[in-house]
A and B are shown apart, each in its own frame.
Chain A
Amino acid sequence: MGQSLKRGFVSALALSSALIAGQAWAKDDIIVAMQLEPPHLDPTSAAAQAIDSVVYSNVFEGLTRFMGDGSIVPGLAESWEISDDGTVYTFKLNDGVTFHDGSAMDAEDVKFSLDRARAEDSANAQKALFAGITDVSVVDPLTVQVTLGEPNGNFLFNMAWGDAVIVAPESIDSIKTNPVGTGAYTFAEWVQGDKIVLERNPDYWGEQPALAKATFKFISDPTAAFAAMMAEDVDVFDNFPAPENLPQFEADPRFQVLVGSTEGETILSTNNKQAPFDDLRVRQAVAHAIDRQAIVDGAMFGYGTPIGTHFAPHHPAYVDLTSKSGHDPEQAKALLAEAGYADGFETTLHLPPPSYARRGGEIIAAQLAEVGIKAEIINVEWAQWLESVFKGKDFGLTIVSHTEPMDIGIYARPDYYFQYDNPKFQALMETLNTTTDPDERTKLLGQAQTMIAQDYVNGYLFQLAKTGVAKAGVQGLWVNAPTAAFELSEVSWVE
């Protein structure tokens, strides 16, 4: 009796000390899974969203930055002043910021980064962000002055993009494989085809994040993604690729599902220069042949918001134009007949790998067949898609999600792959870019949305949902994706 009591006491002691030890060893690393691996790690020289998903705000920071709710807050710039005419921005930089290589980040680096991005031979994928800048000058080591040709209401927003981060001049040569930034995490390791490891930066100028280490794993296959999550091999799946599996995660107490919005307008891109799509009536017929809700339900298992124009529904300036292109096969047939295609026509439908495209494409092909349009499905890999559709413009129809924030401006580029060339729209965008008054901007954005919806430039399908899956103990994750990013600084494990 006495013996067993004693034993009980001892084991209780052991247990409590184990608990204390457990607390001291609270988990401070995380494994984040993503579908696409970045081609390299320089966000300032490629359009690939996968790069930003890893390095944005973790490794590289800009003058301003996105928050999870889409708002813009100060980043490396502590504050700024805007001249009365709206053309001169004076940024006051944070003191004591260093790059991961130990060198100080000052106004010279800002000037270098912005000049590099806007240079004639710049490889920046979003040069339009910097197009308005006429001069960048260093006032003192912590003050930099940016002069614009004309006022730009979007300038602070533009500076928050991953393409506008501040880089160290001495690191440029190896930036693609060894990124050196100012962020709370330093680049540690990249095992190609498998993972990228980031480690906490002990010299970070801001608040130290909770996690000491983050591993980004790349799992492209939806089946493998499901298996990895279920086996708890990964802690978070940034954007889970198979929406059909989400109810299972929701029903499982081990996991949490975070459904939010992205900036991804998923559209049936139409080659506006290729016959018969150069005829407005044909494009309108296509728009009326499509049943968006069926696509959201069938391809995305209900995740996604139908859109009627190229604009994110959660944006305050969004105008709901879905009724302009409601599902109406009879009207579609009438329009086709009017355009001289009473018997329909044949075209191609190029589908990149994501399930929104592959599954959505099967549904759209069936819907188009109902009005007599025979769309031949051609499944392509991303490399082929970029080559033949995006660069070669050799396509009739394709499905793709445009994930850049506020990207309605692409409709003002006549050489963009869907080749919409409307001088009125181009003029409207120019007016918008020089307007700073918020109400006026909202009005102009509304006009722009309406114009492309009335021209039926593309078939507007739905806003891609962000469907994150995480272990129940992870907190501080972004629910929405205002830009491609996996912001680590707020993430931690529940104690």
Chain B
Amino acid sequence: MSRNLILGACLSSLVVLAALISFAWTPYDHAALNIPDKLQTPGVQHWFGTDHFGRDMFSMIMVGARTSIAVALVAVGIGMALGVPLGLTAAARKGSWLDELIMRGNDLVFAFPSLVIAILITAVFGAGAINAIIAIGIFNIPVFARITRGAALSLWEREFILAARVAGKGAARISTEHILPNVANLLIVQGTIQFSLGILAEAGLSYVGLGAQPPTPSWGRMLADAQTMVSFAPHLALIPGFAIILTVLGLNLMGDGLRDWLDPRIRVARA
């Protein structure tokens, strides 16, 4: 295992751990306002200080991790659940009208700047975590569909698939029993990358006020709230900023590391 993978996995699991622990315990109630206590700098009592309403920043970051992960996870889930079957179908029916339809549809979605469309969706259907998930999820579909189709196409040329066809297996069975397990590696790597992009997208949408609505904490909104206070309470912006950076960095390193680790060609070359 590479150093990248270990570092990435550590950072990512730290965030996941914080999110999981927040279900059972946070140092303070993340939503409890305590205005006389506002704008405290990080210290023993409040590890990350308090925000402009006197809420404990550490608790908010922990629960905010939950929001980020939930949104990104479900968004990636949507992308995989719809994108992978589409990609498999397109590969199995290569060159047919169905393949064309699926792939040109993907191109269409891909052609739009994703964040702009996400803003449009949340503006039309209302701001909120659910709509943010759907908006981000839709843009994950073509990513997974393309990756799956590309990898599956080359697999369809291989002898073991030919053998399966000769044995009388239908395209659907071959796709699920033989193709899917062989593209899983790629999907895991891509999933990690999309996961980090999802976290960024959620932070971006929350920053402009279209993501999770208060009182649900969100890193992006914490940043937006901190904007006018950066000059006298920099920790309000730095802490959620670092949370986003470290999470995205961790996931990207992990994605890179996983690709190196899972890719048989590189593994062979290294051995």
Interface residues of A in 181-234 (CB under 8 A from B): 222-223, 226
Question: Which residue of chain B has its CB nearest to the CB of A365?
Answer: B215
B229, A244: Cβ atoms closer than 8 Å: yes
- Closest CB in chain A relative to B30 CB, distance in Å: 11
For B227, what are the chain A residues with a Cβ–Cβ distance below 8 Å?
222-223
On chain A, the residues within 8 Å of B209 by CB distance are 379
Q: Interface range on chain A: under 10, 10 to 19, 20 to 34, or 35 or more? A: 20 to 34
A294 adjacent to B33 (CB under 8 Å): yes
Which residue of B52, B213, B231 is within 8 Å of A298 (Cβ)?
B52
User: Assuming the A-B contacts A298-B33, A298-B38, A379-B209, are A244 and B52 also in contact, with contact meaning beta carbons closer than 8 angstroms in the complex?
Assistant: yes
Residues of B within 8 A of A298 (CB): 33, 35, 38, 52-54
A410 at the interface (CB under 8 A from B): no
Asked, given contacts A362-B215, A366-B215, A379-B127, whether A222 binds B228 with beta carbons under 8 Å apart, the answer is yes
Is A242 engaged at the interface, CB distance under 8 Å to the other chain?
A: yes
B residues less than 8 Å from A248 (CB atoms): 231-232
Known: A298-B35, A362-B53. A242 touches B213 (CB 8 A): no
Shortest distance between the CB of B56 and any CB in chain A (Å): 14
Complexed CA–CA distance, A226 and B36 (Å): 25
Complex alpha-carbon distance, A298 and B54, angstroms? 8
| Contact pick for B53, options A222, A363, A376, CB 8 Å | A363
Given A223-B227, A298-B53, A379-B209, also A363-B232 (CB < 8 A): no
Whether B35 and A294, one on each chain, are in contact in the complex, defined by CB atoms closer than 8 angstroms, is yes
Indicate with 1 or 0, residue by residue over A289-329, a CB within 8 angstroms of chain B CB atoms: 00000100110000000000000000000000000000000
Q: Is B214 an interface residue (CB 8 A)?
A: yes
Contacts of A367 in B (CB 8 A): 33
For window 247-266 of A, CB contacts with B under 8 Å fall at 247-248
Q: Does B197 contact A (CB under 8 A)?
A: no
Decide if A362 touches B231 in the complex (CB within 8 Å): no
CB of B231 within 8 A of CB of A366, answer no
CB-based nearest A residue for B32: A366
B31 is an interface residue with CB less than 8 A from chain A? yes
Closest chain-A Cβ to B130's Cβ sits at a distance in Å of: 13
A475 is an interface residue with CB less than 8 A from chain B? no
B83 to chain A, nearest CB (A): 32
Q: Say whether B33 contacts A366, CB under 8 Å.
A: yes
A245 part of interface (Cβ distance < 8 Å):
yes
Evaluate contact between A242 and B228: CB separation under 8 angstroms.
yes
Task: Enumerate chain A residues within 8 angstroms of B127, measured Cβ to Cβ.
Answer: 379
Could you tell me if B214 and A377 are in contact, using CB atoms closer than 8 angstroms?
yes
Known: A298-B38, A379-B213. A366 touches B228 (CB 8 A): no
Q: Which of B174-215 contact A (CB under 8 A)?
A: 209, 213-215
Q: Which residue of A lies closest to B209 (CB)?
A: A379
CB closest chain-B residue, reference A243:
B228
Question: In the complex, what residues of B have CB within 8 A of residue A366's CB?
Answer: 31-33, 53, 215
| Inter-chain contacts of B33 with A (CB < 8 A) | 294, 298, 362-363, 366-367
- B214: A residues at CB distance < 8 A: 361-362, 365, 377
Q: How far is the CA of A274 from the CA of B59 in the complex (A)?
A: 36
Chain B proximity of A427: nearest CB distance (Å): 41
Interface residues of A in 355-393 (CB under 8 A from B): 359, 361-363, 365-367, 369, 376-379
From B35, B213, B229, give the contact of A377 (CB < 8 A).
B213
* A297 to B228 Cα, complex, angstroms: 16
Query: Chain A residues in contact with chain B, CB under 8 A?
Result: 222-223, 226, 242, 244-245, 247-248, 294, 297-298, 359, 361-363, 365-367, 369, 376-379
Pairs across A and B, CB under 8 Å, 19 listed: A222-B227, A244-B52, A244-B229, A248-B231, A297-B36, A297-B38, A298-B38, A298-B52, A298-B54, A361-B214, A362-B33, A362-B53, A363-B35, A366-B31, A366-B33, A366-B53, A377-B213, A379-B209, A379-B213
